[in-house]
Structure 1
Amino acid sequence: MIQRPKGTSDTFLQEMETWQYIEETARILMNDYQFSEIRTPMFESYDLFSRSVGDTSDIVSKEMYDFFDKGKRHIALKPEGTAPIVRAYVENKLYGPEYPKPLKVYYLSPMFRYERPQGGRSRQFHQLGIEVLGSSNPAVDVEAMALAMDLLKEIGIQDIKLVMNCLGKKEDRLQFREALISYLEPFYEELSEDSKTRLHVNPLRVLDSKNKRDKEIVANAPSILDYLSEESKEHFDTVKMMLNELGISFEIDSKMVRGLDYYQDTIFEIVTNSPAFGAETTICGGGRYDGMVEEFGGPQTPGFGFGLGLERLVLLMNKQNVEIPKLNELDVFVVGLGKETNLETLKLVQAIRGAGFSADRDYMDRKAKTQFRNASRLEAKIVLTVGEEELEKKVVKLKVMKTGKEIEVSFSDIQNDFEKIFNKETADMTAYNEFFGKE
């Protein structure tokens, strides 16, 4: 038997409802914040990621799915969402006067990284992310973080906190880089192999090491916050002030660097201490990346964005028993008794769908009791029953499931004016819900 590739998954039925709930909630909230959707290719030039994400990052050096296509072009499956959107911004001249300033976009997309599969981490995974291109206003940083927190709270996630740092400008990081190397060099033999490799290539990544001894060593390392320019300090102070004014709690972690080389100034993560992962885990992260647009040949354009992994979010929702509202309500279930009702049942279902309502029926010629049980399981609001007698009289028995009310309705009335019938009969159901709701 051919099986799915390692690190991938099939999503269906009840689990799919969770995914759809996340995506539907996200789309509604993105509209509230006035973000528009953008879609970029699943694969891009390898150089796009090696230049933007960084040759020394784990993504490029260890995790990228890359290959040469039949035209000998070096191609990579998309490992993250920011670089493709910046490429699209430059290539399509979205900085032109006819486009909004700043440009606010979001994406829902599969990504690919070759890493060890584990809970909430797959080789094909899905990200929800945003990018804001065109403004260096600290309010953009704050709005993005507020949006991420709003989304997680709207979905029903608990036990989350916002953690921030400031990486300063390129010049600030160069000064900090030298100080950090000077601090780390005496510990060289004690560092992990990855950190030894990074020490003189990208020492900031040593701060992000998960190795226990590395963590102990960097605990007393210099802080990037002591090397910030006045411009970066002022920006970060304004971000903190605005978050306080909005009542959004946060922590500062001067060791946070994120895993991508293009970040500068504000970076952030939203973490959870949920038992779902056994340790503090990042579920959303992002930051400012001024300078990337120019690197790809565009005009000077500030940028800010974040990415949120959906697999990890679904796992967290399951562990926290987040209740998923029913998005696909069933208005009508048609019960057909006997093979001779097959055609009329089909016509009724299609007429009801044509009137703008959701409808389903039995296709397996099951007994009446089984069909009614199925209608109850699907939480149908109304059940229509067609048997031999109803077929002769050209009527259906209509039952409102919540109240138990039953009436007969002609085929022609259902086919010609089902909306009027449905609204009239479910009006009693609304009153029933209101009465018992107050109780």
Structure 2
Amino acid sequence: MSIQIPRGTQDILPDEISIWQYIEEQARLVFKQFNYHEIRTPIFESTELFQRGVGDSTDIVQKEMYTFEDRGGRSLTLRPEGTASIVRSFVENKMFGLPNQPVKLGYIGPMFRYERPQSGRTRQFTQIGVEALGSNDPSIDAEVIALAMTLYHNLGLKNLKLVLNSLGDPESRQAYREALIEHFKPSINEFCSDCQKRLEQNPLRILDCKVDREHPAMKTAPSILDYLNSESRSYFDQVKKMLDDMGISYIIDPNLVRGLDYYNHTTFEIMGEGFGAITTLLGGGRYNGLVSELGGPEVPGVGFAFGVERLLLALQAENVMLPINETIDCFLVAIGEKAKEKSVPILFNLRNAGLSADKDYMDRKVKGQFKQADRLKAQFVATLGEEELEKNIINVKNMTTGEQEQIAINELEAYLQKHLQR
């Protein structure tokens, strides 16, 4: 019996990997433009980190984590999201004491959740995100949103919708929390068991429920915007004005909430169209209390994360063709044993000069070698036979124009550097 890939995972094959690499390169480019620095954290962490950093009442912690005991009896968990690990590293490495504040971090890496696999949702998925830690300035909320929109636009997406809301400060959020309890309590027995538990634990998470989304009480739930105090309203107005000033359009959705207790003020999602329904591509928001919850000082943060798998579906839905270079610079065709021997150092020198080059390793006939060059989309084919070897020359063909030239073997590198299309 053959061993198969675990359910909910996927192989990213060589003919697909260039797309992933391009997306990751674009993310790193935008990180650089906005002065965010990449960080890499362990794939597994202490289980307690996610219990405290994500929340015991969340579906992630209760139902979706991959948790195991190591040989020392310690409970470890494959990371289900990036923020908790970033904040743990921020605290453990005392980044709050660095002279450059806020600390602006970006990350790219695999995450793991035991979910029902479906299109755009796998049990191992790749997440790209940023976290800005240390500033209470509403302009950094706007910056984080602008970074996300810039990345999506750079990748060619156009059918995007930015959805915005505010959860206010702790005072506003507490008032809203009490209003939600009062609103849902009379009919809570009609809701799913998860929502019944959430009523007292975290009533905002009821608004996220997929099971009871059509319940009449959902449609008449109070709006957080009615419970914002003057400071919270002013903060939200500043974020909106900065987005307006940058020309970033948005819509306000009072039901957009983040269920975790440490979220406050700005929350946002970016939605894409073309999946049969409007689909969330990215989620983020401002959070206070998470750093102190994980043993650090009272330091605020704001960030977002998105899954590359979902992004790929959006690119496909909009028929976006990424500008990926799948060509090689030169393919060497060698005819005869001496030419085959000589092709080895020639190829090595081309590669050392920074050129992408290849040759035949399957003892193909000349016609087969040219077919291989076509399959590899070689821009140039350099042909070396016994006669050319004696004269110390090589035939070079431009596969785009069909033009051919004979040049000295030691001039091949310079010739290609001059004529290649970059």
Same fold at TM > 0.5: yes
User: Aligned-pair distance for 1:215?
Assistant: 4.7
Deviation for aligned residue 1:172: 2.1
Q: Could you tell me which residue of structure 2 aligns to residue 204 of structure 1?
A: 204
| Map of 1:38 onto structure 2 | 39
Q: Which amino acid aligns with 1:147?
A: L
| Equivalent in the alignment of 1:433 | none
CA deviations over 1:93-147 (Å, ceiling 9, x no partner) = 111144x211111000100111101000011111000000111111101011111
CA 1:327/1:34 → structure 2, altered by over 3 Å: closer, same or farther?
Answer: farther
**How far 1:214 moved relative to its partner?**
4.6
Letter in structure 1 aligned against 2:117:
P
* Cα drift, residue 337 of structure 1: 2.5
CA distance in 1 between partners of 2:142 and 2:337 (Å): 62
Match of 1:401 in 2: 399
Q: Equivalents in 2 of 1:61, 1:261: separation in Å?
A: 16
Change (3 A) 1:360 1:220: same
SS of equivalent to 1:236: helix
Q: 1:75 is aligned with what amino acid?
A: L
Q: In the TM superposition, what whole-angstrom CA distance separates every residue of 1:231-274 from its partner, at most 9, and x where no partner exists?
A: 21111111111111111111111111135443111010001121
Give 1:77-156 correspondences, 5 Å limit.
Answer: 77-98=78-99, 100-156=100-156
Q: What displacement does 1:425 show?
A: 4.3
Instruction: Output one character per residue of 1:178-226: Cα deviation in whole Å (capped at 9) or x when no partner.
Output: 2111111121232123222222221111101112555532111111111
1:222 counterpart SS class: coil
Aligned-pair CA distance for 1:326 = 2.3
Match of residue 313, structure 2, among 315, 321, 324 = 315
- 1:283 is matched with 281
What's the counterpart of residue 229 of structure 1? 229
What secondary structure, in the 3-state scheme, does the structure 2 residue paired with 1:331 have?
strand
Shift of residue 297 of structure 1?
2.1
Distance 2:260 2:358 in 1: 49
Secondary structure, aligned partner of 1:6: coil
What are the equivalent positions in structure 2 for 1:5-44 lying under 5 Å apart? 5-44=6-45
Q: Distance in 2 between matches of 1:259 and 1:180?
A: 13
1:379 Cα offset (Å): 2.8
Change over 3 Å in CA distance of 1:303–1:424 after alignment to 2: closer
- Spell out the pairing of 1:288-303 with structure 2 (5 A cutoff): 288-303=286-301
Aligned 8 A contact 1:381 1:400 in 2: yes
C-alpha contact (below 8 Å) 1:52/1:262 kept by paired residues: no
Cα 1:390–1:9 change in 2 (3 A) is same
Residue number in structure 1 paired with 2:416: 422
Structure-2 residue corresponding to 1:374: 372
Q: Which amino acid aligns with 1:84?
A: S
Task: Give the structure 2 partner of residue 351 of structure 1.
Answer: 349
Secondary structure of 1:179 counterpart: helix
Aligned residues of 1:53 and 1:262 also touching (Cα < 8 A): no
Looking at structure 2, the residues matched to 212 and 299 of structure 1 have their Cα atoms a distance apart, in angstroms, of 38
Matched residues, percent identical?
A: 49
Question: For residue 179 of structure 1, what is the aligned residue in structure 2?
Answer: 179
Quote the residue 1:437 is aligned against.
Answer: none
User: Kindly tell me: are residues 32 and 298 of structure 1, through their superposed partners in 2, closer, same or farther at Cα, counting changes over 3 Å?
Assistant: same
Partner of 1:413: 411
**Conservation of the 8 A alpha-carbon contact between 2:202 and 2:259:** no
Distance 2:360 2:380 in 1: 15
**Stretch of structure 1 that moved more, 292-301 or 8-17:** 292-301
2:379 alignment partner AA? K
Instruction: Indicate whether 1:333 and 2:354 are aligned.
Output: no
Whole-Å separation in 2 of the counterparts to 1:81 and 1:423: 42
Gaps of 5+ in 1: 431-439
Report SS of the residue matched to 2:57: coil
CA 1:213/1:36 → structure 2, altered by over 3 Å: closer, same or farther? Answer: closer
Give the Å deviation of 1:34. 1.1
Aligned letter for 2:416?
A: F
Query: In the aligned structure 2, how far is the partner of 1:399 from the partner of 1:218?
Result: 68
SS at match of 1:384: strand
Check conservation: 1:337, 1:365, Cα contact below 8 A. no
1:165 Cα deviation from its structure 2 partner: 1.0
Shift of 1:409: 2.2
Shift of 1:164: 1.0
Do 2:204 and 2:258's aligned partners in 1 also have CA atoms closer than 8 Å? no
Q: Which sections of structure 2, spanning at least 5 residues, go unmatched? A: none
Aligned to 2:53: 52
Query: Hey, what's the Cα distance between the residues in 2 that align with 1:378 and 1:80?
Result: 38
Q: Which residue of 2 aligns with 1:255?
A: 255
Which residue type is aligned with residue 56 of structure 1?
Answer: S
